[in-house]
Amino acid sequence: MNFPDYLFLFAGMGLVTYIPRWLPLFFLAQRKLPQWLVDWLSLIPVAILCALLAPILFTDQSTRCLELGKPEFLVAIPTLLFAVKTKSLGGTVLVGMGLYWLAGFLPL
């Protein structure tokens, strides 16, 4: 590939990334959305986070079987409790990382 091909490729990737973000803002910025839709849209980040975390926390990757004794799952429980109690993102990250580091020393 030569330079114009790379330039065309980067421009295309930029458009494919930019347009799906711009279109909803352009069409919905001046409109009042119904409250049920706003409530529903607020659940999307939580659903995406659960979809990303559930396979890591609850399944063995090699056999794809349910496994509740994984260190990741055992660390996630106190980390979740800390997050709910303090509502501190930075503290939650530090507690989770620290517990995961400590879990590496436990014989499981």
Residues of the chain below pLDDT 50:
none
CA angle, residues 77, 100, 72, in degrees to nearest 5: 55
Its sign, for the CA torsion 50, 69, 71, 91, is positive
Rounded to a whole number of angstroms, the CA Rg of the chain reads 21
Asked if 25 and 54 sit in the same domain, the reply is no
Asked if 92 and 46 sit in the same domain, the reply is yes
Asked if 69 and 81 sit in the same domain, the reply is yes
Q: Model-level pTM greater than 0.75?
A: no
Amino acid at 27: F
Q: Round to whole Å and give the CA distance between 71 and 105.
A: 10
Asked if 25 and 42 sit in the same domain, the reply is no
The pLDDT, as a whole number, for residue 82 is 97
Asked if 38 and 11 sit in the same domain, the reply is no
Asked if 43 and 92 sit in the same domain, the reply is yes
The pLDDT, as a whole number, for residue 52 is 93
The whole domain housing 22 covers 1-31
Q: Which two tokens stand for residue 73?
A: 């799952």
Structural domain total, the chain: 2
